[in-house]
Amino acid sequence: MKALIKRIQLYIQITEMGPIARRYFVKDGFDGSMTMLGIIVGTWVVNVTQPEIIVTAGLGACLAMGISGLSGAYLTEKAERKRELKNLEKAMMTKLDDSVITDATAFVSFYAAIVDGVSPILTALVSLSPFFLVLHGLLAVENAYITSIIVTLVTLFMFGIYLGKIAKENALLYGIQTLVAGVATIVIVLLLGAIY
């Protein structure tokens, strides 16, 4: 197991995949949270009281985001990495078929797909978690809406804090910016609900 972890670390280092995977994780996690926020506030506005509807819609969105992330990231990363490998082979005037570079290239396409696909699913499930409690009779649906909105806004804020730390800038300011995006989503959905 230790050898496998070292090999994965080597592949990530060779391909410089660390920062790219981090971007995938944050961007798609943010997307998962924002999508769930739209679904949750939208169902609240139209007074959906059946948690099954909210959970099913949320899980459907989770599944779509996950499959989109997995397939999109895999195909995109694979194409980019193959191109880089062919350019390197051309520059070196040799084939690299049985090299660690070829192995790393194949691995990071899969790694990127996992990060890209799992990230929005995880954050979406965090947002939906209060409604799972409703399904088990542990929380009232009205309280689940409020709890879910709060949990999602906290998740968005934490993404901002994380980005601020990556940038080595004011983490609180980044957190406020991502929080404002969430609040803006809530306001827009509420306004749309008032129109219709």
Degrees (nearest 5) of the Cα angle 33, 37, 40?
135
> How far is residue 196's CA from residue 194's CA, in Å, rounded to a whole number?
6
Q: What is the pLDDT of residue 139?
A: 95
Q: What was the pLDDT predicted at 16?
A: 84
pLDDT at 87: 84
pLDDT at residue 119 in the model: 94
| Residue ranges, the chain, pLDDT below 50 | none
CA 93 – CA 96 distance, rounded (Å)? 10
How far does Cα 99 stand from its chain's mean position? Answer: 32
Contacts of 193 (CB under 8 A, 6+ apart): 42, 45, 46
- Give helix 17-45 / helix 141-167 axis angle, nearest 10°: 150
- State residue 141's pLDDT score: 96
Give residue 164's pLDDT. Answer: 94
Residues 6+ apart with CB under 8 A from 8: 107, 111
How many Å apart are CA 27 and CA 166, to the nearest integer?
13
Count the helix, strand and coil residues of the chain and give each as a percent rounded to the nearest 5.
90, 0, 10
Predicted local distance difference test score (pLDDT) of residue 108: 87
Q: For the whole prediction, is pTM greater than 0.75? A: yes
- Rounded distance between C-alpha atoms, residue 27 and residue 33, angstroms: 10
